[in-house]
Homo-oligomer: A and B are copies of this chain.
Amino acid sequence: MTNYNPMYYPNAGKTIRMGRIISPKDGRAAVVAYDHGLHVGTIPGNINPGQMLESLAEAGADAFLVAPGIARTYASIFAGRGAPGLILRLDWTDLWRDPSKLGYPEGRGCLIASVEDAARLGADAVLVYMFIGYENPEAEAQQVESVARVAQDCEALGIGCIIEPMARGLRVGDNPFNAEYIALASRMACELGADLLKTDYSGSAGSFRYVVESSFCPILIAGGPKTTTTREALEMVQGALEAGARGMFVGRNVFQAPQPPLMLKVMRRIIHDGISVDEALDTLGEKNRV
């Protein structure tokens, strides 16, 4: 019987390009999510994109998730053998803005570039949201349709397809991190043709194992908002790895940390070297143990 290796893509372009994001050696990745400006404008840590990206690239980021404007303005960061992989955010949403930023009770999104545009910009993979739980079933269906189109175009062009399934919208209520919801949307995303998922973390290794088992492609968890303590952030990634995730999209917990490069290095060591949360905290030192 064949041994199904979820890191093997039956598509040469995808195998080559996804290999710049998830290490073919250990099948893991510490990716930096740096697309916040696209949806919510400036936040602490994203005022000087070039500087931040450069310092995190030096600290060993496996890849960056960025919008098209960042990708082309700071293209040199992605140039050269060994440079971080480029994951292009292909969609935009007004779901995340709060009322002070002209936000909506239930936002809507759109595609901002095609897979062909991503190829033109030199991207290794593209990433799109897939929301379930809108009040209106047609809104949900329209979004699934565009996610699916992206997935099929990726197949045709040999570009990696990363889907970010999320339970959001007016029908979801208080607990979007419910493992049932995450598992449902994750499985759908696999069936549509995702090569990799970026998912919410359900809060514990036990519950997250169900998400991993429901999915037949690798998962990196989303970092979410900055945690109150550093230990919390580290325990989240450790729990996810324990449950079978392949790593994390780190964002605010890294670039809003006192020393972002150090924080990223420590995250990398948990993900790639398997050090414990206590070892990690020791490495960070007093200053960063918020």
Contact = CB atoms under 8 A, between A and B. Distances in A.
Interface of A: 1-2, 4, 6, 10-11, 35, 37-42, 47, 49-51, 54, 67-70, 72-76, 92-94, 97, 100-102, 104, 106-114, 117, 120-121, 132-133, 137-138, 140-142, 144-145, 148, 151-152, 155-156, 167, 171-172, 180-181, 183-194, 213-214, 216-217
B110 A10 contact: no
Contacts of A106: 137
Contacts of A184: 40-42, 97, 101-102
B102 A181 contact: yes
Nearest to A68: B193
Given A47-B214, A68-B193, A107-B137, 17 more contacts: A1-B54, A10-B73, A10-B75, A37-B187, A38-B191, A41-B214, A49-B216, A67-B193, A68-B151, A69-B190, A70-B216, A72-B193, A92-B192, A100-B180, A102-B132, A110-B142, A112-B144
Q: What copy number does this chain have within its complex?
A: 5
B92 A108 contact: no
A192 B183 CA distance: 31
Main secondary structure of the interface of A (DSSP, over half): helix
A193 B185 CA distance: 30
A76 to B, nearest CB: 5
Contacts of A144: 92, 110, 112
